[in-house]
Amino acid sequence: MIDPKQVAQRLSGMVVSLLGLSVLIFVISRVLPGNPARMALGAMASEEQVQRLAAEMGLNEPLPLQYADYMRRLLVGDLGQSLQTKNPVVQDLMFKLPATLELITVAFALMVGLGVPLGVLAAVNHGRRLDNLTRVFAFSTVSVPSFFIGILFQLAFGYFLQWFPITGRVSSAAAAEFTRVTGFYLLDTLLAGAFAAHVDVWGHLLLPALALSFSGMGQVIRITRSSMIDVEGKDYIVASRGFGLPSWMVTHKYTLKNAFVPTLTILGLQYAWLLSGAFIIEIVYSWPGVAKYGVQSVLTSDVNAVVGVTMLIGVAFVTVNFLVDVVMAVLDPRIDLTGDTT
């Protein structure tokens, strides 16, 4: 049973973390090179126009007043207007968020679907050639930068083999077959009954999702393998095998079940990490999501958009971290939500 006091303590910690993040974002956004007003109006704008826009954005006010106005707007969900799109930042984020969520969700499914079985396979064949090959693969996926993997996939599967498209989210012909309803194209194509477009969306999605999943997949393989090997040496596992239970039953029903708690911790945090890792992949594959929007915001000194994207990622991290802690406390009663193990 989870103690409500522990939940309240963890929630208060989340609030403190987000307040600290808000201060950090504010400071960084004010020291970014370039004048946001000048960047928004372009080089041909007059100095009077630049000063007028700067006054509208509150950039001429003292920093304490700027921070107070920044926090007031942040608390009511007002992130201001994007200098790139001229739309409210919240509107831009809500429009682009489904693309990123779809990408990282499929990447997460690939990471779990491939990483956990490979970790189990390595543990079952501990010390053998298959174990060594799996460990080399896991080390390689962690060590090689994601942008390199993404470009390699584009060259191999997109350019040479021509199995998959290498940029974009959907082809123009397929886009005409369905209407955007939820923003999740895999779902929207099914709702419209456009199965050819659904296949097209999968074709655009698989390469970037697989490239994004590789780094986390290596972590999952290594943690699953080491946890499985550790549990294999426990007395109850040795006794289960001594009683003549089938090897597959011991491995999946007893060993993997008890070894999965550390893996679950990694999986929860990796989902949040995929959001930050998507910055590189979305640029490489021209994926129209939040991460690409954030990179463009930094390059154009779009202060409001930079703040919005960074706060979104920060909220995602602390929320996922909290949910992982709750699940861990449910699975293992020795762990409380304050981080102590009894």
Distance CA 321, CA 21 (A): 15
Q: Is 295 helix (H, G, I), strand (E, B) or coil?
A: helix
Contacts of 170 (CB under 8 A, 6+ apart): 185, 197, 200, 201, 204
Distance CA 52, CA 327 (A): 51
Instruction: Determine the pLDDT at residue 215.
Output: 80
CA–CA–CA angle 125, 273, 229 (5° rounding) = 20
Which residue's structure tokens are 């989902």? 271
Distance CA 57, CA 37 (A): 8
The token duo for 226 is 């080491």
Q: Is 109 helix (H, G, I), strand (E, B) or coil?
A: helix
Distances (CA, A) of 72 to 29, 165, 252, 339: 17, 44, 52, 32
Strands (E), the chain: none
Distance CA 191, CA 320 (A): 29
> Taken in order 119, 121, 127, 128, is the CA torsion positive or negative?
negative
Instruction: Determine the pLDDT at residue 341.
Output: 47
Contact of 81 with 307, CB cutoff 8 Å: no
The amino acid sitting at 129 is R
Residue 335 dihedral angles phi and psi, to the nearest 5°: -100, 130
CA–CA–CA angle 308, 274, 158 (5° rounding) = 110
Distances (CA, A) of 73 to 18, 66, 67, 168, 171: 15, 11, 10, 34, 38
Instruction: Determine the pLDDT at residue 77.
Output: 79
Contact of 93 with 309, CB cutoff 8 Å: yes
Distances (CA, A) of 335 to 3, 5, 200, 293: 11, 14, 45, 39
Distance CA 99, CA 208 (A): 12
Distance CA 115, CA 213 (A): 9
Instruction: Determine the pLDDT at residue 204.
Output: 92
The token duo for 40 is 């928004």
Distance CA 148, CA 158 (A): 14
From first to last of its 342 residues, the chain has per-residue pLDDT tens of: 566 777 777 778 778 888 888 888 777 766 666 666 666 666 676 777 777 777 776 767 777 887 888 788 888 878 888 877 888 889 999 999 999 999 999 999 998 889 888 888 888 888 888 888 988 888 888 788 888 888 889 899 988 888 898 888 889 888 888 888 998 999 999 998 889 999 999 999 999 999 898 888 888 888 888 887 777 766 666 666 666 666 666 666 656 666 677 777 777 778 878 887 788 888 888 888 888 888 888 777 777 888 888 888 888 888 877 777 777 677 666 555 555 544
Instruction: Determine the pLDDT at residue 300.
Output: 76
Rama region for 127: left / alpha / beta (φ>0; ψ in -120 to 50; rest)? left
Distances (CA, A) of 114 to 98, 195, 223, 301, 337: 24, 26, 13, 39, 30
